[in-house]
Amino acid sequence: ENGQREDSLIQNDLSESFEEEVRAFLGDEEKLHLFDDLTKVNPVTTRTVLKCLQARYRVNLFYTNAGCSLVALNPFQPFSCLYSPELMREYHVALCPQDLKPHIFAVAEQTYRNVQKQMDPVNQSIIVSGESGAGKTWTSRCLMKFYASVAASVISPKGNETVERIEKRVLDSNPVMEAFGNACTLRNNNSSRFGKYIQLQLDRFHHLTGASIQTFLLEKTRVAYQAPNERNFHIFYQITKGATAEERLEWNLPEGAEYRWLPNSERNLDEDCFEVTRGAMFHLGIGHATQSNIFKV
């Protein structure tokens, strides 16, 4: 009994001491946003980590390192300066990109350099994960744009036109994937309803030579059933809102008709632009006849 009582007292002392450390760390709120790496937080608790992220979010710092990982917070508003070509170049030419502010470009550049440093080709992978609305689709776009820009920045022996064409195709794959695989959900207007593995291929000069995209676990049940206040895949709304009079006649889509499988069609999203999807499909080499067959289906 005495031993148990002593253990209990020691445990209480440790708990009180730990709480004092947490309070002391959180006491200086003005310095919390300076923690750009969560491994520097001491003591490490859910509370201290979230408070640091919250403090950084308030001063528009949306990226924070966590050791070899990067934590990204969705600002839910545009910050064009955060993804400008000038900033891409700054991270690309930096002697040590990890010494700059935490950013998705720092991760992208370090991965690119890991490939360059190897005598024999060594694959590099970046895993983008998070819950719905976290910003995975946007992050994937930023990564593809960065590599398309960096890997095409030097004239390839095969000709700059070839590199530019590949760059255009890599970037144009985004609106096509999103049209056929993304939908408006309760938490996110442009939610990816599938997983994707994007492989960018480089030659021995580290120039972009091609890309392949594999999809998996597509939420096909969404075609026939949508939860209340959610929508079907974007492509259906794009077709019904953007098809020409001739196409409507050919595809049996009467003007102004309502479709049971297309709820909440009165909502107008940026993703409802049919011309963007069609233009991207043309750039990917999908001709008019094939496109017409796809839209008929």
Q: Which residues are annotated as a binding site for ATP?
A: 130-137
Binding residues: 130-137
Specify the amino acid at residue 144: M
Neighbouring residues of 130: CB distance < 8 A, sequence distance ≥ 6: 72, 136
C-alpha 29/C-alpha 52 separation (Å) is 9
* Residue 135 backbone class (left: φ over 0; alpha: ψ -120 to 50; beta: rest): left
Runs of H (alpha helix) within the chain: 2-27, 46-58, 85-93, 104-117, 136-150, 160-181, 234-242, 245-251, 274-283, 288-296
HEC profile of 243-258: CCHHHHHHHCCCCCCC
Cα-flanking dihedrals φ and ψ of residue 70, to 5°? -125, 130
What would the two tokens of residue 280 be? 């991207």
Given a contact cutoff of 8 angstroms between Cβ atoms, the answer to whether 21 and 41 are in contact is no
Closest among 113, 130, 147 to 62, alpha carbons compared: 130
Per the document, the length of the chain is: 297
